[in-house]
Amino acid sequence: MKIGIVCYPTFGGSGVVATELGLELSKRGHEIHFITYNQPVRLELVSNNVHYHEVNVPEYPLFHYQPYELALSSKLVDMVKLHGIEILHVHYAIPHAYAAYMAKKMLIEENIYVPIVTTLHGTDITLVGSHPFYRPAVTFSINKSDAVTAVSQSLKDDTLRLFDIKNEINVVSNFIDLDKHDCKFTDCQRSLMAKENERIITHISNLRPVKRVEDVIEVFYNIQKEMPAKLMLVGEGPERERIEARCMELGIYNKVAFLGKSNEIDKILCFSDLFLLPSQSESFGLAALEAMASSVPVISSNTGGIPEVNIHGVSGFLSDVGDIADMTKNALYILGDDDRLKTFKENARQTALKFDVHTIVPQYEKIYEDTLAKC
C-alpha cells in the first residue's frame, strides 16, 4: 500500500508512535510518505520506501495566526496526486483529522478518493480537544474519518464520554520494538551515569504540568534518604526551571542529572533500576512501555490507560495521583532487595512482550485493508 502519515514531528509520544509505525510498515513492504512540518525526530530516511514531505507555511505579517491547516490540506492534495497515495493515516486529531477531511473533499472534486484513518493519542481528546472552543470541529473530524483508532481502552471510553461519536473506535495499543531495547551497553558506560552502589531512577517526559514532575522529585528525595541513588531527568519543557529550583531547595541538585532531549534513551534505560511516571492523566504511557521493554519496573499513577500497561505488583506499582507516600513505599520495596529488583525487572520485560511491534502493526494493516475495501 502507499500510505501517507501525518503527525507532529516532535519528541512527543504521538510523533514517536507515528514514526515507528511508518518505519515498520516500510519494512513490511509498504511505501510510506510522512507529511509534516519538520523531519520527525526518530525518522531514518535511508530507505527506498520512506519519503518525507515538508509542509511549509509562508509567513504573512497581516495574519495573527498562520493558517497551518490550509497549508497541510494543500500539501496532502498535492502529495496524494503526485505519489498515488492510497490512504492517509493522521495521528493526533487536532488539526490533522480536520485538515485531512478538507484534503479528501478537494480530491473528490477531481474524482480521487482517499480514505482517512485517524488515531487519537490522548491530549487531543482529554486536555485540548474537549475544550468547548475545539469540540465541534474535533467531533466532526472524528465522525468524518473512515476509521478511528484509540491507543487504549481508557482513551476510547474518554472519547465516547466527552464527544458525540457515531463512528466505531478500534483500540490499537502503542507498541515497542523489543529488539531495540536489548540492553547492549557496557558497565563502563554505566559508570558515566552513577557510582556502582547507586540505584538509578529515571523519568522521561516533555516536563509539562500534566506529567507532575514535582512528584518525581519528591519521591526521589524520599528514596535517596534511604539509599544511594541518582535521578536521570530526560526531556525539556515548561516545568524545568521550577523543578531545578525545587532540587536546589531540597539540596539534591547534585544527585539529579538534567539530560534534556536525548537520543540515547535506550542507553539511559538500559542502566535504570526504576522508572517514575506519576502523571495527572495519560492515555497510554509510551514512556512506561519503553522502560518496561528495557527491563525497568515502573512506579506510576493509576490513571487513564496506564493500568493497561503497568501491571500492579508485577511490572511495578500503581498509586493514586499525587500519593507520594505510597509511591515512595513501593519504590523502596522494589529497590530495597537485589533479588526482588531482579524479579521486577524480568516481569517488566515480560509484560512489555504483549505490545511487541510485530503483534500490533498488523492490526493497523488490517484496518487499512478493511477501510480500502469499503471504499
> Between residues 198 and 266, which has the closer beta carbon with respect to ligand GMT?
266
> Between residues 90 and 335, which has the closer beta carbon with respect to ligand GMT?
90
Q: How many residues bind ligand GMT (CB under 6 A)?
A: 20
CB of 240 to ligand GMT, least distance (A): 15
Q: At what angle do helices 135-144 and 93-108 cross, to 10 degrees?
A: 50
Of 232, 208, 243, the residue nearest 123 (C-alpha): 208
> Between residues 258 and 333, which has the closer beta carbon with respect to ligand GMT?
258
CB of 62 to ligand GMT, least distance (A): 31
> Between residues 198 and 356, which has the closer beta carbon with respect to ligand GMT?
356
Site for ligand GMT in 190-229 (CB under 6 A): 205-206, 210
Q: How wide is the angle at C-alpha 185 spanned by C-alphas 180 and 188, nearest 5°?
A: 165
From the list 283, 300, 303, 328, which residue makes contact with ligand GMT (rule: CB under 6 A)?
283
CA 220 to chain centre: 24
CB of 195 to ligand GMT, least distance (A): 31
CB of 18 to ligand GMT, least distance (A): 9
Of 261, 253, 247, 331, the residue nearest 296 (C-alpha): 331
Q: Are 308 and 152 in contact (CB under 8 A)?
A: yes
Q: Cell numbers at residue 155, please?
A: 482513551
Site string for ligand GMT, 85-124 (x = CB under 6 A): -------x----------------------------xxx-
> Between residues 115 and 122, which has the closer beta carbon with respect to ligand GMT?
122
282 touches ligand GMT by CB under 6 A: yes
13, amino acid identity = G
In this structure, the dihedral spanned by the alpha carbons of residues 200, 201, 207 and 213, taken in order and rounded to 10 degrees, is -140
> Between residues 14 and 26, which has the closer beta carbon with respect to ligand GMT?
14
Q: Kindly give, in sequence order, each residue whose CB lies less than 8 Å from that of residue 38, ignoring residues fewer than 6 positions away.
A: 9, 10, 54
CB of 198 to ligand GMT, least distance (A): 27
Q: What is the DSSP letter of 31?
A: E
Burial class, 168, CB count within 10 angstroms (exposed 0-12 / middle 13-18 / buried 19+): exposed
Site for ligand GMT in 4-43 (CB under 6 A): 12-15, 17
> Between residues 174 and 295, which has the closer beta carbon with respect to ligand GMT?
174
CB of 125 to ligand GMT, least distance (A): 8
CB of 350 to ligand GMT, least distance (A): 20
> Between residues 203 and 230, which has the closer beta carbon with respect to ligand GMT?
203
Q: What is the DSSP letter of 38?
A: S
- DSSP per residue, 47-96: STTEEEEE------TT-SS--HHHHHHHHHHHHHHHHT--EEEEESHHHH
Site for ligand GMT in 139-178 (CB under 6 A): 151, 174
Q: Contacts by 305-313 with C-beta closer than 8 Å and gap 24+?
A: 305/151, 305/152, 305/153, 305/154, 305/155, 306/277, 306/279, 306/282, 307/154, 308/152, 308/153, 308/154, 308/173, 308/284, 309/152, 309/284, 309/285, 309/351, 309/355, 310/277, 310/285, 310/351, 311/347, 311/351
CB of 69 to ligand GMT, least distance (A): 17
Q: How wide is the angle at C-alpha 50 spanned by C-alphas 370 and 96, nearest 5°?
A: 60
> Between residues 15 and 22, which has the closer beta carbon with respect to ligand GMT?
15
> Between residues 205 and 295, which has the closer beta carbon with respect to ligand GMT?
205
CB of 339 to ligand GMT, least distance (A): 31
From the list 22, 40, 95, 285, which residue makes contact with ligand GMT (rule: CB under 6 A)?
285
Under the rule (CB under 6 A), what is the footprint of ligand GMT? Answer: 12-15, 17, 92, 121-123, 151, 174, 205-206, 210, 281-286
